[in-house]
Structure 1
Amino acid sequence: MAFLADSVPMGEQTVTPREGRDQALPRSATAPDEVAPEPRGGRLARMRAPRRPRLWFEILLIAVSYWTYSLIRNAVPEQRTAALNNADWIWRTEHHLGMAFEESVNHAVNSVTWLIVGMNYYYATLHFVVTLSVLVWLYRSHPGRYAATRLVLFATTAVALVGYYLYPLAPPRLMNGGDFVDTVMVHQTWGSMASGDLKHMSNQYAAMPSMHIGWSVWCGLTIFALAKLPWVRILGLLYPVVTLVVIVATANHFWLDAVGGLLCLAFGFAVARLWYGTLPYALPRVVPARGTGGPLLPTKG
């Protein structure tokens, strides 16, 4: 058997079997808090442990979940009268608070054609593009945190459906007697569920809570918590701020709808915290392959 001699003080020497030394070496140079231990315990403990996401399952899950979300959201009775009455109440409440600024922002931005057209397309596209991009980034670079962070998004969206059912709300652009400009209709931009034939496929009175805010803040917090480059983290924080300006300027939401979106997001984080025992961003970045003590998933980005 081969041996390795290690120098020690006073000229003494000890020997350690090579096999034993190899076993004592660390399995990964990754920091301890970046590696998830192999799950132990009962079935529930194994279910709650971070695990390697499977691409085919995630694609199927996201597709089915969004289809279900759209189906339920659009199947909720529109309740036009209740939605308009609720919009009047929201508008009066904001005036009472001295914060009814949506109409001024809507008119000011609408006076700059290129700006409002850009915001219309922003509203119609980035809501989906950025959210999916963050999910893909999490899947590739933070597999140990992916499932928990995805759970936040799904729980947020699920509770929003309850809000659509219990509190139908017309957006400012559809208020009776309001002076808001429906920027999509005026500028004839494509892609919005509020325009053209698409408006007949979407519930126009599901403005509370705003998932544009719920999803954008989820994206922003995730990017800020996990990205390494400072300018990327700053962009993450700016994204929901710009989104708030867009939903108000296009008259698609009251600012109080944004508050509703934040409350839904807080619920989503609470669900993930209860299930995993910690916030998603505090979970290990990498996880062992399923059913083994390793190898560790590769660390990226």
Structure 2
Amino acid sequence: MTSTATNLAPVRRGLGPLLPARLRPLDRPRLWVELVFTAVGYWAYTRSRNAVPAERGAALHRAHLIWDAERALHLNVELAVNHAADKVTWLVVGMNYYYATLHFIVTIGVLVWLYTRHPARYRSARTALYAATLLALMGFIFCALAPPRFLAAEGFIDTVVKHHTWGSWASGDVASMSNQYAAMPSVHIIWSAWAGLALAFLARRTWVRVLGVLYPLATFTVILATANHFLADAAAGAATLAAGFLIQRLLTGRPAYPRLQRS
């Protein structure tokens, strides 16, 4: 057993493990196996996500239902955030690029960081992320949902189209490759909250832990400001990530981020 593993808090009984001990090791997996596994998993996820029927009519109907429900509950903050951000061109354009790029860059970066710096935590954290992403795919399949930017009649602004940001839906270069009705739950929230938790729990420097807390909050602001998600999508994303961590706990019998015993 590695020195890192010996410092982990003992596993509490009650939730798992469902997997035998040989299938829940703490050591770091081989890099080439992990790269192949991750690449194949992401390819399968992308193909499956984009193969989901668009169901435009049903997706728009659900979008109107969510918007009406949020208005009835006085939770309809999306439109105000969308219009406020759009008034500051440099800000909203930056948010458009944030939405399109950091989603992948930060998640991959945190995976690499966990693999190299926290090998005993990597398997559990990765399992929680993959489980939550798979659950999200189920949401896309059974609950196609149009994002707020499709509700132009309600006053929403599609900031990517208006400001001609790279990857504009209107140009067809993104719309032809991505299911635009895969909004429920928000994978941006799932991945950013997962990355933020990893940094908040495991980073040694205070400023990095603070960034871990701020990153999902910034992402939450961006997905509303760019009219790519409803508040309900974000809430569903947080719940889906929680379910991912629960699945990981049931499989391994240990939390993804147990406390270190300090001497």
Query: With structure 2 as the length reference, what TM-score do the two structures score?
Result: 0.90
CA shift, 1:131, in A, is 0.2
Q: 2:220 aligns with which of 244, 269, 285?
A: 244
1:114 and 2:103 equivalent?
Answer: no
Contact 1:144 1:283 in 2 (8 A): no
CA shift, 1:51, in A, is 2.4
1:154 aligned partner: 130
Alignment of 1:104-253 (within 5 A): 104-175=80-151, 177-191=153-167, 196-253=172-229
RMSD, matched Cα: 2.2
The letter of the residue matching 1:110 is D
The letter of the residue matching 2:174 is L
Distance in 1 between the 2:128 and 2:120 partners? 14
Q: 2:45 aligns with which of 64, 69, 72?
A: 69
SS in 2 for 1:145: helix
1:91 aligned partner: 67
The letter of the residue matching 2:187 is M
Contact 1:145 1:284 in 2 (8 A): no
SS in 1 for 2:154: coil
Extract unaligned runs of 5+ from structure 2.
11-18
User: 1:152-211 CA deviation, whole Å, 9 max, x = no partner?
Assistant: 000000000110111111000112622111110111111467764211111111110000
1:33 aligned partner: 7
Distance in 1 between the 2:98 and 2:60 partners? 26
Distance in 1 between the 2:47 and 2:110 partners? 24
Contact 2:99 2:223 in 1 (8 A): yes
1:257 and 2:233 equivalent?
Answer: yes
Q: 1:194 to 1:267 in 2, by over 3 A?
A: farther
Counting aligned pairs with the same residue, the percent is 53
Q: 1:97 to 1:54 in 2, by over 3 A?
A: same
Higher relative contact order (CA closer than 8 Å, sequence separation 6+): 2
User: 1:84-115 CA deviation, whole Å, 9 max, x = no partner?
Assistant: 00000000110011010111111111010000
Distance in 2 between the 1:225 and 1:117 partners? 32
Q: 1:31 to 1:113 in 2, by over 3 A?
A: same
Distance in 2 between the 1:274 and 1:227 partners? 25
Q: 1:83 to 1:92 in 2, by over 3 A?
A: same
SS in 1 for 2:221: helix
Distance in 2 between the 1:281 and 1:167 partners? 31
Distance in 2 between the 1:52 and 1:149 partners? 12
Q: 1:81 to 1:29 in 2, by over 3 A?
A: closer
Distance in 2 between the 1:166 and 1:62 partners? 24
The letter of the residue matching 1:164 is F
Q: 1:74 to 1:107 in 2, by over 3 A?
A: same
Contact 1:145 1:283 in 2 (8 A): no
CA shift, 1:28, in A, is 8.3
The letter of the residue matching 2:84 is A
Q: 1:61 to 1:192 in 2, by over 3 A?
A: farther
Q: 1:148 to 1:284 in 2, by over 3 A?
A: farther
Q: 1:52 to 1:35 in 2, by over 3 A?
A: farther
User: 1:51-101 CA deviation, whole Å, 9 max, x = no partner?
Assistant: 221111111111111111111111111100100000000001100110101
Equivalenced residues, count:
253
Q: Which entry has the higher C-alpha Rg, 1 or 2? A: 1
